[in-house]
Structure 1
Amino acid sequence: MQQIKEVEAVTTELREALARAGVVLPSLRPDPVSIAHRYIPPLVELGRCSMEVARQLTDALTEHSRGDRD
């Protein structure tokens, strides 16, 4: 049960961080198959996105990595 709460929390944190960067991944969610599995840890499913969202994500990551060098 604790791992389910953790994967839900980290998914929310990721969703909020992406939103601050101007990126929305519509399929972002805890992976239900891994949550139901007994022996592997829960996964976060990033899902599919449009090319526009992929470009936004690329831009946000590129901008962030440039900021780390300054």
Structure 2
Amino acid sequence: MQQHLKEVDALTTELREALARAGVVLPSLRPDPVSIAHRYMPPLVELGRCSMEVARQLTAALAEPARGERP
């Protein structure tokens, strides 16, 4: 369980940083405590709720061509 906690924490941090580079901040982004405490369920990352503005920013960031790709 400790390994899962470290892994989900690291992944959450990585996702938070990647989103920030795209100009998106999800205030509720965090490891899901229920799944971390569960014995058989894999740990989940909770994306949480966001405002409509953040949803627009996320949509725009996902619509942009991936780095290195031509439009």
TM range (shorter): over 0.9
Partner of 1:20: 21
Q: How many angstroms apart in 1 are the aligned matches of 2:52 and 2:6? A: 31
Q: Which residue of 1 aligns with 2:43?
A: 42
Runs ≥4 residues deviating over 2 A: none
The structure richer in helix per residue is: 1
- Aligned-partner SS, 2:64: helix
- The answer to whether the aligner puts 1:53 opposite 2:54 as a matched pair is yes
Aligned-residue RMSD, C-alpha: 1.2
Q: Which amino acid aligns with 2:50?
A: C
Give the letter for the 1:51 counterpart.
Answer: M
Which AA in structure 2 matches 1:28? L
Q: Quick one: distance in 2 between partners of 1:69 and 1:13?
A: 22
Task: Kindly tell me the number of residue pairs found equivalent between the two proteins.
Answer: 69
What are the superposed Cα offsets for residues 12-66 of structure 1, whole Å, 9 maximum, x if unpaired? 000000000000000000000000000011000000000000000000000135x
Cα distance in 1 for partners of 2:13, 2:65 equals 20
The 2-side partners of 1:13 and 1:50 are apart by 22
Percentage of pairs with the same residue: 80
Compute the TM-score of the two structures, normalised by the length of structure 1. 0.92
Q: Structure 2: any 5+ residue segments left out of the alignment?
A: none
